[in-house]
């Protein structure tokens, strides 16, 4: 590709973020830059140096592009190079042009790679898109009003859910660490806090701090579950009530508010509608689940301060996550140990129920990570064992609840039961309600994605006496906050240390109003023995105990074994059915998709579906109404079931409707590869020469499907001395590692998608 081709691509890229290349008040090309009679200081990495007497930067020249603000002043110079040239090398050519025009920003591009250079403050870095006019004007406005973070007092108290809360010491320490990182120019930061210690409150308080100091104006808060989105929005509207906020849902109208809460799955489908400079801060909750393949694109799109939140202990956070957040020595930037939280009284301790029937499940260990849940249920439970488990839990709960929480008025206190499948959950709920006929079937309730208005049921569980017990599968293990939980009942086998700790964490929140002292874990499948967990030697993924013989390794696992966005691999790929309805009826995935597509096509006259057909955005009310109408008995069409049926963990309801109507334009394999590669490249923060080299390898991978090291020694790559250059840039082992990672993250994930 020559420079002319690159300029055609640049024009398209400018249009994508709102620039009009034909409007000379916005974009001018071939702008003549006269020779300067006054020496201009060369600025690089924030250090000003006087140029030499014969500095050629004082000669006249032409800027390829100049972007102008609404006031007519230059905002940025764009230096365009042909594809074969790494645009980073054009820094010193573009710098004097920007200085003489008094343009504060520079873009360097060859049409494939784009570097953004805020040359008065930082070095050039790869970005996914150009900045819009408003992005750069806003950045300049913030610079003028920005205050040092040290001038903003750390908060001591805040109001949340109608009560005044004290800011805890570790929350203040986390804010101080963030201050230090931001002032030093660190762009990414990873925080590890145990479940129940106030990650969301902490980040809301810190966002308020950044906005008061003028360091941020627009914020994106990403989560991967609806319950987490609700929690985040509640915290933001409590703590940051003076700033506008909203939840961006699939297909709905984008609002120009200061804080956007969105599901990662939603942002995957619409991130290209935003420029790289649109958000100043991007928060990723439960970030250990999202830095892989396709998911990266929704994060790396934004050239912002990235703050990752996780409750996962350091030993179980993947290498990709540490690389994305630029953490040293595979350690989060700030962490607070669960043992310290128990010792400091910020979390409620637990004990295990003794004397209960324990189901032995060794026979199911043949295929540890990928088993059919329905087969497992049939093998290890039956009506007798289900009934026995519920009877034993119920008896012990009623015996112990006053000891656990003397202030708990109604026995036996709130409980969560984790079942194997939806069908299993239905059976357990039935037996619990049989034990308490006086409540007419309302003592225990199933909470799954198929329940009509699950949100209302969750609110009732939290706020009202009944239901006393919530029985669920894969919905309440994370993103669910109920401080009054006294009983955690595990009626399934677990082999994921992350999931085990998330389930356990549902009971750790303190509840002084009921004098909560402890909670009890009823572990009918001996999971705590597998993880060597006890109330005196707490399993946290580290130290000498961390796993039982034959258990998971206490270190990063390959991404093959990851549970992507809470959807188990076996449900996405190996299992050919999905469970629908309160009783967990098993429906073949192909049959479910066929029924879905026929239903949507038969309702094509529906006004909301007409809007989707014509690609018009829906209101928030229309999106909610549509979801409720589709999730009705008989088919139970909802996002969770559709993701499993389509084997698409990143899909959303609007995408699935468009697919049924034949309107969804799927990206080509090459487009997916290109997007994933750019996201992977931004995430790794490589040197310019390394990025240029890997772009060369990427093109080979596109042609062959993956990259083989042998390719480096054969034409056409051998002609370019690809092997020698690669070893020089990365070292022998480093080159092998980076090629393996590119194959795993860029090519393999795309092939699956």
Closest CA to 207 of 161, 166, 241, 252: 241
Token digits for 272? 């290209």
Q: Count the Cβ atoms, other than its own, within 10 Å of residue 515.
A: 12
- CB-based contact 690:729 (threshold 8 Å): yes
Let me know if 690 is exposed, middle or buried by CB neighbors in 10 A (0-12, 13-18, 19+). Answer: middle
Closest CA to 485 of 500, 475, 501, 470: 470
DSSP 590-619: HHHHHHHHHHHHHTTT-HHHHHHHTTPPBP
Cα-only R_g, the chain: 28
**pLDDT top residue among 559 and 264:** 264
Comparing 149-336 with 365-561, is the CATH topology the same? yes
Report phi then psi at 234, rounded to 5.
Answer: -60, -45
What's the pLDDT at 574? Answer: 60
**485-514 mean pLDDT:** 90
What's the pLDDT at 343? Answer: 92
Which H or E element spans position 115?
A: strand 114-117
What's the pLDDT at 541? Answer: 57
DSSP 539: -
Let me know if 440 is exposed, middle or buried by CB neighbors in 10 A (0-12, 13-18, 19+). Answer: exposed
What is the fold, at CATH topology level, of the domain defined by 365-561? Rossmann fold (3.40.50)
Three-state DSSP at 106 gives strand
- CB-based contact 85:110 (threshold 8 Å): yes
What's the pLDDT at 668? Answer: 66
Core vs surface per residue 702-741: b (16+ CB within 10 A) or e: beeebbeeebbeeeebeeeebbebbbebbeeeebeebbeb
Closest CA to 178 of 193, 161, 194, 160: 193
Helix axes 620-630, 653-660, angle to 10 degrees: 70
Dump pLDDT digits (tens) for 373-389.
777 787 778 899 999 99
Q: How far apart are CA 363 and CA 89, in angstroms?
A: 61
Dump pLDDT digits (tens) for 98-127.
999 999 999 999 888 899 999 998 899 999
Token digits for 713? 């020694």
- CB-based contact 712:722 (threshold 8 Å): yes
pLDDT mean across residues, the chain:
84
- Residue 417's pLDDT band (cuts 50, 70, 90): very high
Nearest 5°: CA angle at 131, between 120 and 693?
A: 80
Dump pLDDT digits (tens) for 477-498.
777 889 999 999 999 888 778 7
- Confidence (pTM): 0.83
Token digits for 182? 């931001």
DSSP 158: E
**355-384 mean pLDDT:** 68
Q: How far apart are CA 722 and CA 24, in angstroms?
A: 43
Report phi then psi at 45, rounded to 5.
Answer: 55, 30
Q: Right CATH number for 3-136 from 3.90.1570.30, 3.40.109.10, 1.10.10.10, 3.40.50.300? A: 3.90.1570.30
What CATH class does 149-336 carry? alpha beta
Q: How far apart are CA 700 and CA 697, in angstroms?
A: 5
Q: How far apart are CA 479 and CA 447, in angstroms?
A: 14
Dump pLDDT digits (tens) for 138-189.
999 998 889 999 999 999 999 998 889 999 999 999 999 999 999 888 899 9
Domain boundaries, the chain: 3-136, 149-336, 365-561, 580-660, 669-752
**Does residue 751 carry a pLDDT above 50?**
no
Closest CA to 661 of 621, 603, 616: 603
Dump pLDDT digits (tens) for 605-662.
899 999 998 889 898 889 889 988 999 888 899 988 898 888 777 778 888 999 899 8
Token digits for 421? 């499948």
- CB-based contact 198:210 (threshold 8 Å): no
**Does residue 753 carry a pLDDT above 50?**
no
């Amino acid at each position: 590709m020559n420079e002319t081709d690159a300029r055609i691509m640049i024009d398209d890229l400018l249009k994508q973020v709102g620039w009009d290349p034909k409007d000379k008040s916005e974009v001018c090309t071939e702008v003549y830059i006269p020779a300067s009679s006054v020496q201009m200081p060369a600025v690089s990495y924030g250090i000003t140096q006087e140029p030499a007497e014969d500095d050629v930067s004082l000669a006249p020249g032409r800027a390829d592009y100049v972007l102008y603000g609404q006031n007519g002043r230059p905002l940025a110079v764009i230096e365009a190079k042909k594809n074969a040239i790494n645009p980073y090398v054009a820094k010193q050519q573009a710098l004097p042009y920007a200085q003489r025009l008094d343009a504060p920003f520079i873009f360097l591009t060859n049409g494939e790679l784009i570097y953004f250079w805020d040359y008065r403050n930082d070095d050039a870095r790869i970005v996914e898109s150009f900045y819009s006019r408003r992005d750069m004007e806003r950045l300049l406005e913030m610079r003028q009003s920005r205050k040092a973070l040290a001038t903003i007092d750390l908060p001591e108290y805040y109001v949340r859910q109608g009560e005044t809360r004290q800011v805890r010491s570790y929350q203040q320490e986390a804010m101080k660490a963030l201050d230090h990182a931001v002032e030093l120019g660190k762009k990414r930061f990873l925080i590890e806090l145990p479940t129940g210690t106030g990650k969301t409150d902490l980040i809301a308080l810190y966002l308020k701090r950044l906005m008061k100091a003028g360091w941020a104006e627009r914020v994106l808060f990403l989560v991967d579950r609806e319950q987490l989105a609700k929690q985040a929005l509640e915290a933001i509207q409590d703590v940051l009530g003076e700033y506008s906020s909203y939840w961006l849902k699939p297909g709905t109208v984008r609002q120009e508010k200061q804080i956007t809460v969105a599901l990662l799955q939603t942002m995957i489908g619409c991130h290209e509608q935003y420029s790289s400079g649109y958000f100043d801060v991007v928060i990723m909750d439960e970030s250990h689940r999202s830095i892989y393949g396709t998911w990266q694109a929704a994060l790396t799109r934004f050239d912002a301060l990235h703050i990752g939140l996780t409750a996962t202990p350091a030993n179980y956070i993947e290498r990709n996550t540490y690389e994305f957040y630029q953490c040293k020595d595979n350690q989060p930037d700030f962490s607070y140990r669960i043992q310290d939280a128990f010792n400091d009284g910020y979390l409620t301790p637990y004990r295990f129920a003794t004397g209960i029937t324990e189901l032995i499940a060794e026979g199911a260990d043949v295929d540890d990570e990928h088993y059919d849940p329905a087969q497992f249920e049939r093998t290890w439970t039956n009506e007798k064992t289900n009934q026995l488990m519920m009877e034993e839990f119920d008896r012990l709960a009623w015996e112990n609840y006053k000891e656990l929480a003397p202030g708990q008025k109604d026995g036996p206190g709130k409980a969560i039961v984790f079942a194997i499948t939806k069908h299993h959950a239905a059976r357990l709920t039935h037996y619990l309600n049989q034990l308490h006929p006086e409540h007419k079937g309302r003592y225990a309730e199933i909470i799954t994605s198929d329940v009509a208005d699950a949100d209302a049921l969750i609110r009732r569980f939290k706020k009202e006496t009944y239901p006393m017990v919530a029985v669920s599968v894969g919905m309440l293990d994370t993103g669910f906050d109920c401080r009054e939980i006294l009983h955690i009942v595990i009626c399934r086998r677990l082999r994921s240390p992350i999931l085990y700790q998330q389930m356990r964490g549902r009971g750790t929140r303190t509840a002084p109003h009921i004098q909560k002292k402890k909670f009890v874990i009823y572990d009918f499948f001996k999971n705590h023995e597998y993880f060597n967990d006890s109330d005196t030697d707490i399993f946290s993924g580290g130290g000498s105990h961390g796993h039982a013989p034959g258990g998971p390794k206490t270190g990063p696992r390959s991404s093959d074994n990851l549970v992507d966005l809470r959807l188990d691999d076996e449900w996405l790929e190996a299992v050919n059915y999905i469970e629908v309805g309160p009783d967990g009826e098993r429906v073949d995935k192909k049959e479910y998709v066929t029924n879905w597509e026929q239903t949507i096509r038969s309702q094509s006259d529906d006004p909301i579906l007409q809007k989707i057909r014509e690609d018009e955005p829906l209101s928030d009310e229309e999106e909610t109404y549509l979801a409720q109408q589709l999730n009705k008995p008989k088919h139970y069409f909802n996002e969770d079931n559709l993701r499993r049926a389509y084997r698409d963990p990143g899909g959303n309801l609007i995408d699935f409707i468009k697919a049924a109507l034949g309107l969804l334009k799927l990206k080509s394999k090459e487009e997916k590869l290109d997007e994933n590669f750019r996201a992977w490249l931004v995430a790794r923060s490589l040197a310019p020469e390394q990025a240029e080299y890997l772009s060369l390898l990427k093109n080979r991978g596109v042609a062959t499907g993956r990259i083989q090291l042998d390719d480096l020694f054969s034409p056409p790559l051998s002609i370019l001395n690809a092997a020698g250059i690669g070893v020089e840039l990365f070292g022998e082992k480093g080159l092998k590692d980076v090629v393996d990672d590119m194959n795993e993250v860029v090519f393999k994930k795309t092939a699956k998608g």
